[in-house]
DNA sequence: CATGATCCCTGACTGC
DNA sequence: TGCAGTCAGGGATCAT
């Protein structure tokens, strides 16, 4: 799944091609995503100017003045910008190319999403009040997300720290991969009860989360196999992980065997030598 | 309210 | 080679 770094990278990749451009047309090939794509988008959007491209959690927000187009990539979604100066333009849509946003300059923003867990939604009004966004916790890379905050928010919680990190009311954008990686770097076992972790360990955890996410963004977003960079080039090489997807293999620091368990129907990976 | 389970979906992979 | 079965995963939503 595109995690926060991929979404951030995608947003940065598409923004220069979209910002200030007028929408000319909308093509919906398959509206059946996580929620139906609003049928009236082809009527509503043409003529509107995309003013800014923003990211909140894993949502990409295209501010069109009269409303905001909300895009989510689910776990297999990708966006590409097709440019008229490229060879073979206009490129005929592939399987799973569900949605096109066509701009006045002929460029096309194309959503590809095999598993269709993604979303394309339209919101009029204060975007912060949208049901999907209004209950979200802080962005992990802002100063609002710090050890004091995590410590305070987790007092009385009985849930495991791994699941707490993936709870979007606590903090957004930390998916399974980075929750596992950050806990490893912080030396915290994913099963530890969040409410029992002290401020010192949270300092280390917050540092690990920010470090891991920044590194991935710098690398252009670590990727699942079907992530495609917004300029159309194939995705980056899979990032080297400390624990994620490495069950049965040796820990890179202590050579213990990496263990895999299920927490809340999700796989967790950890080293019992390095994480307590 | 906090927590855990279920569901949406298709492609990659495994075993026969 | 092909087929059936399993797994993966974001996150809303339902059940406890």
pLDDT tens digits along A44-63: 999 999 999 999 999 999 99
Q: What is the pLDDT of residue A86?
A: 74
Question: What domains lie within chain A, and their CATH numbers?
Answer: 4-129 (3.20.190.10), 147-271 (1.10.8.50)
A96 is known to lie in a ligand binding site:
yes
* Residue A239 banded pLDDT, cuts 50, 70, 90: low
Task: Find where tokens 């194309």 sit.
Answer: A110
A173, A58 in Cβ contact below 8 A? Answer: yes
**For residue A274, is pLDDT > 50?**
yes
Separation of CA A116 and C1' C5 in angstroms? 22
Please state whether strand B lies within 7 Å of residue A243 at its CB atom: no
What value does the mean pLDDT take over residues A106-120?
91
A231, A238 in Cβ contact below 8 A? Answer: no
pLDDT (tens digit per residue) in A180-190: 999 999 999 99
Active site residues of A: 2-3, 58, 266
Q: Which residue is nearest to nucleotide B1 (CA to C1')?
A: A157
A222, A239 in Cβ contact below 8 A? Answer: yes
């Amino acid at each position: 799944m595109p995690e926060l770094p991929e979404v951030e990278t995608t947003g940065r990749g598409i923004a220069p091609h979209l910002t200030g451009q007028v929408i000319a047309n909308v093509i919906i090939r398959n509206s059946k995503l996580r929620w139906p794509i609003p049928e009236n988008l082809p009527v509503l959007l043409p003529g509107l100017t995309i003013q800014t491209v923003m990211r909140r959690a894993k949502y990409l927000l295209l501010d069109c003045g009269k409303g905001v187009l909300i895009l989510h990539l689910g776990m297999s979604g990708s966006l590409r910008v097709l440019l008229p100066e490229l060879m073979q333009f206009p490129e005929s849509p592939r399987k799973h190319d569900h949605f096109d946003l066509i701009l006045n300059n002929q460029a096309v923003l194309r959503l590809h999403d095999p598993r269709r867990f993604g979303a394309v939604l339209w919101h009029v009004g204060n975007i912060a009040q949208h049901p999907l966004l209004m209950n979200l916790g802080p962005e992990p890379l802002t100063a609002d997300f710090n050890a004091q905050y995590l410590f305070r928010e987790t007092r009385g919680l009985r849930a495991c720290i791994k699941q707490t990190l993936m709870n979007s009311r606590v903090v957004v954008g930390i998916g399974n991969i980075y929750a596992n990686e950050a806990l490893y770097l912080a030396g915290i076992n994913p099963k530890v009860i969040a409410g029992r972790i002290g401020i010192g360990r949270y300092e280390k955890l917050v540092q690990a989360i920010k470090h891991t996410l920044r590194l991935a963004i710098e690398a252009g977003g670590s990727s699942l196999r079907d992530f495609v960079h917004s300029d159309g080039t194939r995705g980056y090489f899979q990032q080297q992980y400390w624990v994620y997807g490495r069950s049965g293999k040796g820990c890179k620091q202590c050579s213990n065997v990496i263990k895999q368990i299920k927490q809340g129907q999700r796989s967790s990976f950890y080293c019992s030598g390095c994480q307590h």
